[in-house]
């Protein structure tokens, strides 16, 4: 996989698989091919519709292709079920980067769950304990630590974050499947920026702190990841929509203090304008 591309998959229902394949083919001006046994899958333009109903995209570098397909499926009243999964490349990552990615998600796990409307944990605590208990530099070392911890029973429960150090991919499955393109893009962007942040950081904390204001705390987290400016305005709005609190100020006291400061600045500005006006009027009177 290329570093900036992604694969997206979800389970589709409400419409026969053959029709789903035909809709995608028509949207992308492609032909449908039935694979027959043993997979019984349909393929079109690199998209796969499995026997189970799971729809998987090819490697995509252009969001508009995904938008086109999701929009076409919505027109025939297709339903998206289960998890929406984003697969990214591990190109440029090492063992420490993978540890950072897991730690970043663990650090804000409760807020990520709320933001995405999820109830189940994304990563099990045993995984975090295992990967932070020993030095890890390479992808192979990371895989060995995780597999050993699983074998001896230190990691229990499912993980919605999966590392494939053989195929060099990273799967994020902690979003509800959707045909709303903007919601899907918001999750894809979150995964991409967490992935990039994991590569940049040398160290990542695993301490989960008490949160006073959900929306403010998660907004700061998004900004740290790189959700800055108008380019990410829609994504920020979607990811903050389910959270309560004030996105601009950490506490009510902070908001009140800021409002008082604005009042003082406004009063000072008004006073200065009045003095400037008086100076102008005095100058005019002196001249004439």
CATH number at residue 50: 3.30.310
What is the pTM (predicted TM-score) of this model? 0.86
Q: pLDDT (tens digit, 9 = 90+) per residue, 233-257? A: 999 999 999 999 987 766 666 666 6
Q: What is the pLDDT of residue 196?
A: 96
Domain boundary among 77, 99, 133: 77
Q: Are residues 7 and 130 in the same domain?
A: no
Q: What is the pLDDT of residue 11?
A: 97
CA distance 225 to 100: 13
Q: What is the pLDDT of residue 147?
A: 94
Q: What is the pLDDT of residue 279?
A: 67
Q: What is the pLDDT of residue 194?
A: 97
Residues 6+ apart with CB under 8 A from 49: 12, 17, 20, 21, 24, 41, 42, 43, 55
Mean pLDDT of 14-38: 96
Assess whether pLDDT exceeds 80 at residue 272: no
Distances from the Cα of 261 to the Cα of 29, 251, 266, 270, angstroms: 59, 16, 9, 14
Q: Are residues 69 and 197 in the same domain?
A: no
Domain boundary among 40, 58, 77: 77
Q: Are residues 99 and 225 in the same domain?
A: yes
pLDDT band at residue 283 under the 50/70/90 scheme: low
Q: Are residues 263 and 130 in the same domain?
A: no
Mean pLDDT of 53-67: 94
Q: Are residues 177 and 59 in the same domain?
A: no
Domain boundary among 77, 105, 130: 77
Q: Are residues 103 and 38 in the same domain?
A: no
Q: Are residues 123 and 179 in the same domain?
A: yes
> Which range has the worst mean pLDDT, 69-73, 116-120, 202-206, 277-281?
277-281
Q: What is the pLDDT of residue 140?
A: 95
Assess whether pLDDT exceeds 70 at residue 184: yes
Q: Are residues 56 and 16 in the same domain?
A: yes
What's the chain's average pLDDT?
90
CA distance 148 to 136: 14
Which of 68, 72, 80, 242 lies closest to 177 in space, CA to CA?
80
Mean pLDDT of 133-138: 95
Distances from the Cα of 84 to the Cα of 110, 156, 172, angstroms: 19, 23, 8
Q: What is the pLDDT of residue 208?
A: 84
- Residue 12 contacts residue 20 (beta carbons within 8 Å): yes
Residues 6+ apart with CB under 8 A from 276: none
Q: Are residues 216 and 268 in the same domain?
A: no
CA distance 91 to 170: 10
| Structural domain total, the chain | 3
pLDDT band at residue 259 under the 50/70/90 scheme: low
Residues 6+ apart with CB under 8 A from 190: 222, 225, 235, 239
Q: What range does the domain containing 70 cover?
A: 1-77
Q: Are residues 106 and 121 in the same domain?
A: yes
CA distance 119 to 145: 27
Q: Are residues 109 and 230 in the same domain?
A: yes
Q: Are residues 262 and 235 in the same domain?
A: no
């Amino acid at each position: 996989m290329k570093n900036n591309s992604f694969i997206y998959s979800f389970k589709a229902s409400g419409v026969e698989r053959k029709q789903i394949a035909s809709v995608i083919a028509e949207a992308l001006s492609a032909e449908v091919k039935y694979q027959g046994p043993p997979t019984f899958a349909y393929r079109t333009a690199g998209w796969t519709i499995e026997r189970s109903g799971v729809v998987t995209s090819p490697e995509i570098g252009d969001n508009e292709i995904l938008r086109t397909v999701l929009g076409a499926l919505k027109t025939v009243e297709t339903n998206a079920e289960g998890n929406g999964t984003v697969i990214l490349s591990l190109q440029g990552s090492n063992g420490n980067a993978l540890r950072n990615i897991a730690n970043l998600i663990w650090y804000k796990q409760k807020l990520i769950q709320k933001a995405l409307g999820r109830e189940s944990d994304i990563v099990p605590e045993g995984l975090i304990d295992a990967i932070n208990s020993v030095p890890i530099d390479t992808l192979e070392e990371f895989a060995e630590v995780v597999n050993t911890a699983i074998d001896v029973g230190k990691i229990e429960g499912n993980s919605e974050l999966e590392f494939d150090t053989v195929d060099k991919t990273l799967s994020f499955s902690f979003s509800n499947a959707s045909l709303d393109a903007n919601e899907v893009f918001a999750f894809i962007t979150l995964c991409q920026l967490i992935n990039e942040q994991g590569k940049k950081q040398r160290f990542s904390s695993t301490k989960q702190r008490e949160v006073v204001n959900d929306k403010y705390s998660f907004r700061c987290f998004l900004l740290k990841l790189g959700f800055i400016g108008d380019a990410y305005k829609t994504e920020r709005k979607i990811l903050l929509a389910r959270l309560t609190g004030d996105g601009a100020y950490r506490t009510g006291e902070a908001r009140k203090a800021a409002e008082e400061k604005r009042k003082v600045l406004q009063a000072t500005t008004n006073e200065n304008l009045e003095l400037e006006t008086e100076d102008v009027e005095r100058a005019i009177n002196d001249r004439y």
